């Protein structure tokens, strides 16, 4: 459908363009930054600054892939053609995941390359530097897992409006609030986006008790839970 193509296109454009603009601003203001911020500056993660908005387009993609059939009524035809509901759901998820990963991989590498170009020779890093390739490839995995998590939630809720009405505020507002307020910070760090985003960092200066790959593993557990929940509800409910 056109909507899924547009959302994937927006993922690329928003992530790359916003990341490049922020890198350019950081380059111009780097000399006036506090010494502590200059010492802990992470050029790789800065190039992914646009991913916060780019992931919202990926969320829309994941939701529409699953829930469009419910809003149009085509789900009855699909389940009649593929009566085994597990095969139906997970075949859809696999195809959409491969597409999301390809787009996310291109987005991550383009965002990194363009971002480093904007930072200039004094601040930029190379793919061969320690931890950089892991962070770039991890950025693609993070975006892919975001799409998969959205598919699982959409399979549970079935309604695109309800799914987006929950996921958008959760990732854009609630998760950030829980991750920054001191009273809830220890809980927020185990939310899917907060945990998964550590894979995109090369310079780790906080006291989070897990590393980049463990953070991505926590996010993967959220994805598995969402997909299993979607599968269970799909089997129990009528179309």
The residue extents of the domains of the chain are: 2-236
Is pLDDT at 145 greater than 70 in this prediction? yes
Q: How far is CA 140 from CA 66, 74, 112, in A?
A: 21, 31, 11
Q: What does the pLDDT read at residue 37?
A: 83
CA atoms within 13 A on the CB side of 204: 19
Question: Residues of the chain with pLDDT > 70: what percent?
Answer: 97
| pLDDT confidence bin for 1, thresholds 50/70/90 | low
Cβ(143)–Cβ(108) below 8 Å = yes
pLDDT top residue among 51 and 84: 51
Q: What does the pLDDT read at residue 181?
A: 85
| pLDDT confidence bin for 184, thresholds 50/70/90 | confident
Q: What does the pLDDT read at residue 12?
A: 93
In whole angstroms, what is the distance from residue 20 CA to residue 119 CA? Answer: 9
Per residue in 60-95, pLDDT (tens digit) is: 999 998 887 777 767 777 777 777 877 888 889 999
Lowest mean per-residue pLDDT among 3-12, 43-52, 166-175, 218-227: 3-12
Helix, strand, or coil (residue 57): helix
Is pLDDT at 27 greater than 80 in this prediction? yes
| pLDDT confidence bin for 158, thresholds 50/70/90 | confident
């Amino acid at each position: 459908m056109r909507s899924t193509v547009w959302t994937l296109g927006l993922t690329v454009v928003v992530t790359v363009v916003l990341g490049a603009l922020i890198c350019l601003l950081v380059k111009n203001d780097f000399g006036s930054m506090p010494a502590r911020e200059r010492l802990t500056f992470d050029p790789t993660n800065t190039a992914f600054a646009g991913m916060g908005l780019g992931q919202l387009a990926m969320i829309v993609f994941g939701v529409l892939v699953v829930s469009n059939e419910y809003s149009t009524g085509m789900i009855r035809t699909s389940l009649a053609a593929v009566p085994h509901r597990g095969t139906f759901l997970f075949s859809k998820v696999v195809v959409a995941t491969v597409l999301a990963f390809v787009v996310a991989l291109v987005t991550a590498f383009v965002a990194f390359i363009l971002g480093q170009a904007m930072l200039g020779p004094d601040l930029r890093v190379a793919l061969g530097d320690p931890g950089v390739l892991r962070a770039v490839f991890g950025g693609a995995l993070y975006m892919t897992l975001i799409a998969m998590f959205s598919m699982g939630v959409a399979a549970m809720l079935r309604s695109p409006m309800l799914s987006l009405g929950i996921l958008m505020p959760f990732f854009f507002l609630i998760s950030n609030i829980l991750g920054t307020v001191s009273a809830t910070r220890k809980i927020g760090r185990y939310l899917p986006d907060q945990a998964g985003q550590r894979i995109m960092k090369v310079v780790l200066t906080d006291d989070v008790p897990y590393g980049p790959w463990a953070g991505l593993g926590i996010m993967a557990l959220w994805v598995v839970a969402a997909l299993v929940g979607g599968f269970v509800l799909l089997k129990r409910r009528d179309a």
